[in-house]
Structure 1
Amino acid sequence: MSSTPSQRLIRRETLLAIGLACVLGLLLAAYVWGKRSTPATAPAGPLEKLIIATNTEYIGACPVIAARDRGYFAAQGIQAQVQSHSSGKASLNAVLQGRADFATVADLALALAILNEQPISIVTTIFRTEKDHGIVGRKDHAVLSPVSLKGKRIGVTLGTSGHFTLDVFLNRQRLRSSEVTMVNYRPEELGAALDKGEVDAIAGWEPFLKQNAASQGGNAVTFYGDEVYESIYNIAGMRAFVTEHPRTVTRLLRALAEGARFCSEQVAEASHLVAPSVKTSEAELRAAWPAYRFGIDLDQGLILALEDESRWAIKNKFSNRSDIPNYLDHIYLDGMVEVKPGNVSIIH
Structure 2
Amino acid sequence: MFRLWLLIGIVFASATAQAAPVRIGVSETMLSLPLYVAQSEGFFEKRGVSVEFVSCVGGNRCMRNMLAGQSDLSTATELPVVFNSFARNDFAILASFVSASNDLKVISKTSANITDPGKMRDKTLGYVKGTASQYVLDLVLVYNGIDPDTVTLKQVTPESAQDQLDKGDVDALCLWEPFVSKIRLDLGKEVQLVPIPKLYTETFNLIALKSVIQARPKELEKILLALRDSTQFIQANPDKAKALAAKQLNVSVDLVDQIFDDYRFRLSLSRSLGRTMEGQARWAVREGHVKAKSAQPNYSEFVAPVFLKAVEPAAVSLQ
TM-score for both structures, normalised by structure 1:
0.83
Over residues 3-24 of structure 1, what are the superposed CA-to-partner deviations in whole Å (9 max), with x where a residue is unaligned? xxxxxxxxxxxxxxxxxxxxxx
Corresponding position of 2:211? 240
TM-fit CA distance, 1:224: 5.1
> Quick one: which of 95, 106, 115 aligns to 1:144?
115
In structure 1, how many angstroms separate the alpha carbons of the residues matched to 2:195 and 2:220?
A: 35
Measure how far apart 1:311 and its partner are.
Answer: 0.6
Q: In the alignment, what sits opposite 2:143?
A: 172
Q: In structure 2, the residue corresponding to 1:124 is in which secondary structure?
A: strand
What is the match of residue 100 of structure 2?
129
* 2:291 alignment counterpart: 320
Aligned counterpart, 2:3: none
Where do residues 277-288 of structure 1 align in structure 2 (5 Å cutoff)?
A: 277-288=248-259
Alignment of 1:325-340 (within 5 A): 325-340=297-312
Aligned residues: 301
Equivalent position amino acid for 2:161 in 1: L
* Paired residue type of 2:129: L
Question: Are 1:64 and 2:44 matched, yes or no?
Answer: no
Q: Residues of 1 paired with 2:303 and 2:295: CA distance?
A: 18
Please state whether the residue corresponding to 1:296 is helix, strand or coil: strand
The whole-number CA distance in structure 2 between the counterparts of 1:206 and 1:242 is 30
CA shift, 1:261, in A, is 1.4
Change (3 A) 1:306 1:248: same
Give the AA of the match of 1:278: L
| Higher Rg | 1
Question: Per the alignment, do residues 298 and 121 of structure 1 end up closer, same or farther by CA in structure 2, a change over 3 Å counting?
Answer: same
**Alpha-carbon contact 2:126-2:173 (below 8 Å) kept:** yes
- Name the residue aligned to 1:31: none
Unaligned runs of 5+ in 2: 1-17
Deviations 1:243-269 (A, max 9, x none): 332111111110111112112221000
Alignment of 1:19-30 (within 5 A): none
Among candidates 152, 156, 167, match of residue 185 of structure 1: 156
SS at match of 2:102: coil
Alignment of 1:220 with 2:191, yes or no, is yes
1:51 aligns with 2:27: no
Give the equivalent residue in structure 2 for 1:344: 316
Give the secondary-structure state (helix, strand or coil) at the position aligned to 1:162.
Answer: helix
- Picking from 110, 113, 131, the partner of 1:160 is 131
| 1:122-165 superposed Cα distances (whole Å, 9 cap, x missing partner) | 10001101111021111212323211110001111122100100
CA contact (8 A) 2:115 2:194 kept: no
Could you tell me which runs of 5 or more consecutive residues in structure 1 were left unpaired when the two chains were aligned.
1-45
Superposition deviation, residue 59 in structure 1? 0.7
1:175, distance to aligned residue in structure 2 (A)? 0.4
- Residue 193 (structure 1) shift: 0.5
| Range with bigger deviation, 94-103 or 273-282 | 273-282
Deviation larger for 100-109 or 313-322: 313-322
Q: Distance in 2 between matches of 1:299 and 1:53?
A: 23
